[in-house]
Every structure is written in C-alpha cells, then in structure tokens.
Amino acid sequence: MNRIISWRTAAAAALLLIVSAGHADETRFEVKFSRNVPWRGGRVTIDHRFGDVVLVTEPGTHVSVRATIRASDPDFGQQIRITANEEGDGVSIQTHYPEKHIRISGSSSFSVDYRITVPPNAPVTLKNRFGKIDATGLRASSELINAQGSVTMRDTKGAQTVENQFGSIDVTDNDGDLTVRNSNGSVTAREIGGNLNASNRFGSVEVRNVAKNATIRNSNGSVDVRDVNGSVSVVNSFATVVAANIKGSADITNGNGRVEVHDVNGNATLKTTFGTVSARNVNGNLTATGQNSRVEAQTVRGMGNVSTTFGSVEIRDVNGALKVTNSNGSITVAGVGGDFTADTRFGSVKAEKIGGSADVDNANGSVTLTGVGRDARVRTSFGSAFVREVGGAVDIQNQNGAISVAGLAPSSCKPISLRTSFSSIKLALPSSASYTVAARTSFGRINTAFPITTSTISDENLVGSIGSGSCRLELVNSNGNITIDKE
C-alpha cells in the first residue's frame, strides 16, 4: 500500500512539473525588431549589453538592424527598447533596459541578440558586454570592445582595434594593422596584412602570418608567434614564448618561463629568468641572457653573446665570435668560426673546433679545449686544464689542478707557458720541436723525453734548449711533477 501511494505521489509530481514547464514556455516573452537606417557616411556606433552581436557587410546605403528580444518576465521584456537612428554624421544603435533588471530574481532571464548589416566602407564602433561579437567583412577602420564574451573577426581591411575581457579574441585575415587588447582570455591572430600590436593577461597569444612587425605583451599566458615577415618583439612572464620563421629580428624578454626561437633571419635578443633559452638557426647575431636558466643555441651565422647563472650553456656552430659568461653552470661549445671567450665559476668548460683564439677564465671547474685555430689562454683553479690541437701560443695558469697539453702542429713555433700547483704538468711536443726551456718545480720532479742542451739541470730545475731553441717554453709548478713527452 505504501509503495502504491509513493508511486502515485511521484507521478503527480512529474505531471505538475510538465504543466509548470509548459506554463513557463507560454509566458516567455519574445519579440522581433527590424529597422533600416539610411547611412550617408560617418561612423556606425553600437552600444549594447546582455546579448550577442553579429556584424556583417553588404553593399548599399543603409544600415540594417535585426534583433530578437527575449525575457522570462513579459512585463520586463516589454520595457526593453532599441533605438536605431541617424545621429550626427553617422548612425547610432542602442539597447535600453529598464532599471528593474538590477533587481529581478535569479530565476529570471533576458537578452537581446542582434544581426546588423552595414556598408563595407562604414567605420564601426561596437561596444558590448555579457555576449559575444562576430564581425565579418569590414573594410574601414573599426573598433570592437567587448567584455564577458568572445570576439571573432574575419575578412577585414584597414586598421582594426579589438578589446575584450573574460573572453577570447580570434581575428583571421585582416588586410591592415591590427591592435588587440585582452585579459582573462586567449588571443589568436592569423593572416594579418600589416603590423600587429597585441597585449593580454591570463591568456595565451597565438600569432600566424603577419606581413609586417609583431609586438606582443603578455603575462601569465603562453606566446606562440610564427611566420612574421618583419621583426618580433615579445615581453611575457610566467609562461613559455615560442617564435619561429621570423624574417626580421627577434627581441624576446620573459620571466619565469622558457624561450624558444628558431629560423630568425635577423638578430635575436633573448632574455629570461627561471627558464630555458633555446635558439636555432639565427642568421644574424645572438644575444641570450638568463638567470637560473639553461641556454642552448645551434647554428648562429653572426656572433654570439651569452650570459647566464645557475644553468648550463650548450652552443654549436657559431660563424662569428662567441662570448659566454656563466656561474654555477657548465659551458659546452662546438664549432666557432671566430674567437671564443668564456668566463665562468663552479662549472666546467668544454670547447672544440674554434677557428680563432680561445680565452677562458674559470674557477672551481675544469677546462677542455680541442682544435683551437690560434692562441689558447686559460685561467682556472681547482680543476684540470686539458688542451689539444692549438695552432698558436698556449698560456695556461692553474691552481690545484693538472695541466695537459698535446697535439701541437709540427711546424708551429709558438710560445708555451704552463703554470700550476698541487698537481702535475704534462706536455707532449712534436718530435721536430724547437724550444728554449725554463722549467722549475718544488716538491716534484722534471722528466723529459727530449735531449736537452742544458745550462742548469736538477730534479726541480731545468734550463736549456730543445733543438735550435727558437720558441719559448716556460713550465712552472709547485708540489707536483713536470713531464715533457714526444708525440
């Protein structure tokens, strides 16, 4: 018996719900608005809120306004008014709501959705809130300002400005300059025929195919910009920046985020903190600055200047000179067409295939140089120094670390100066070597595989000549051995 009563009660409740829903539909207010306003030139101004606006163009001499007014409260809906008139030197369209809408209950709803058609060459200023904007075909400079809804613009021409808050912006195919300002929503701009100036907060920025320059300011959102025919300037924070296929220069400053750049035809200037810097295929000069950042670069056809802290540096194939400054991180370099200069602390330095000279200052880290076209100068401490295949003079000063030099050119006659303490010095010379030798050590021995014409010789001091003695060779050690070997 109880189960039958429960079923009948549930059925009655369902029936009441159906009747109530039907009654709500019957009392819902909806009315259409339609008006054509002559356009004799001037700006079309639209002021709206609480609904969507579709804006299109059509050849002609009038502005067509079509709207649908909806409200769950018929009394409230009947008080909504639309004005569309010639005003000043243009056309004005406005939506007017009664003050009551501030106090209506949360179960009530209302909106006004527009479809507005304007002549293609009519400039437009459109302001909207709590609804989306969809604009197509504008051929005059216009301004779209929105909040709490998305903005879509396509197939436009001239200088366009789009602003939004709490909604996305998507612009495609604008033949002219574009200015975009947004917050709390994504920005997408594609096929821009002029300059692009975009700013955003708390949303991503994606850019594709800009005919001129692109300037982007963002925070708390990623930036991805590709295929720009001019230069790119990006300032961002707390997110990644990617720039690719840039015909001009790239100037990128980021904070707490990664920077990735490739295929830049001009110079690249990259800065970040707490994120990796990666550059590849830069046709001009590269300047990379990081803090608590790793720096990677490959194929730079100009010069390179890299500075970072608390991160490693890895660079390959720089046509010009390369300068690297680091601390608390390693440096690895392969392929430098010009001179190589490195200054670091608490990290190793490894470089090979240097076309010019190599000049390395280090502390608390090892240094390895292989294949240096001209002179090699090394200053380090608490780490070994290994140098091979140097075409010019060799000057190494070390403390508390070993020195090893080998692979010198047989025909070269360049001065060699090696100094260290509390470790060994090992030098391998070509069999045809010719040097005036001055070697001394303390608490160690001097060993040589070459016959030396001596003027002074002992376990700790050697002065004399190898061959004709045409080049200067100075070896100084304390608390370690000195060894001269043949290659």
The 8-class DSSP code of residue 19 comes to H
Report pLDDT for 23: 33
Min mean pLDDT across 134-143, 258-267, 382-391, 456-465 is at: 456-465
3-class SS at 26? helix
Report pLDDT for 460: 83
Q: Which residue has the tokens 């005003």?
A: 87
pLDDT band at 206 (very low <50, low <70, confident <90, very high): very high
Cβ-based neighbours of 354, under 8 Å, separated by 6 or more: 333, 336, 339, 340, 369, 371, 372, 373
How far is Cα 286 from Cα 299, in angstroms, rounded to an integer? 10
pLDDT above 50 for 77: yes
**The two three-digit tokens of residue 412, written as one number:** 């070269």
Report pLDDT for 15: 30
How far is Cα 351 from Cα 456, in angstroms, rounded to an integer? 38
Min mean pLDDT across 21-25, 83-87, 189-193 is at: 21-25
pLDDT in tens, 433-451: 999 999 999 999 999 999 9
How far is Cα 400 from Cα 482, in angstroms, rounded to an integer? 14
pLDDT above 70 for 25: no
Nearest to 77 by CA among 119, 33, 117: 33
How far is Cα 38 from Cα 87, in angstroms, rounded to an integer? 11
pLDDT band at 108 (very low <50, low <70, confident <90, very high): confident
- 1 burial (CB, 10 Å; 0-12 / 13-18 / 19+) is exposed
Distance from the Cα of residue 485 to its chain's centroid = 51
Report pLDDT for 463: 95
Phi, psi (deg, nearest 5) at residue 24 = -65, -40
pLDDT in tens, 354-402: 999 999 999 999 999 999 999 999 999 999 999 999 999 999 999 999 9
Average pLDDT over residues 106-115: 87
pLDDT band at 3 (very low <50, low <70, confident <90, very high): very low
Nearest to 272 by CA among 311, 299, 232: 311
Report pLDDT for 21: 31
| Residue 324, strand partner residues | 306, 342
Residue 1 one-letter amino acid = M
pLDDT band at 103 (very low <50, low <70, confident <90, very high): low
pLDDT in tens, 4-24: 323 333 333 333 322 233 333
pLDDT in tens, 119-152: 999 999 999 999 999 999 999 999 999 999 999 9
Phi, psi (deg, nearest 5) at residue 327 = -150, 140
How far is Cα 261 from Cα 276, in angstroms, rounded to an integer? 11
Report pLDDT for 411: 75
- Residues 253 and 237: beta-carbon distance below 8 Å: no
pLDDT band at 100 (very low <50, low <70, confident <90, very high): low
Report pLDDT for 107: 64
pLDDT in tens, 473-483: 999 999 999 99
The vertex-374 CA angle with 372 and 376, nearest 5°, equals: 65
How far is Cα 109 from Cα 97, in angstroms, rounded to an integer? 13
**The two three-digit tokens of residue 392, written as one number:** 């010019």
Report pLDDT for 480: 96
pLDDT band at 331 (very low <50, low <70, confident <90, very high): very high
Average pLDDT over residues 461-486: 94
pLDDT band at 454 (very low <50, low <70, confident <90, very high): confident
How far is Cα 51 from Cα 293, in angstroms, rounded to an integer? 47
pLDDT, mean over the chain: 92
The 8-class DSSP code of residue 484 comes to E
Nearest to 92 by CA among 163, 145, 43, 146: 43
**The two three-digit tokens of residue 311, written as one number:** 């991160």
Ramachandran sector of residue 88 (left: φ over 0; alpha: ψ -120 to 50; beta: rest): left
Nearest to 180 by CA among 210, 216, 133, 140: 216
Cβ-based neighbours of 73, under 8 Å, separated by 6 or more: 29, 104, 108, 110
Report pLDDT for 99: 77
Distance from the Cα of residue 233 to its chain's centroid = 9
- Residues 99 and 52: beta-carbon distance below 8 Å: no
pLDDT in tens, 410-435: 877 899 999 999 999 999 999 989 99
Report pLDDT for 106: 57
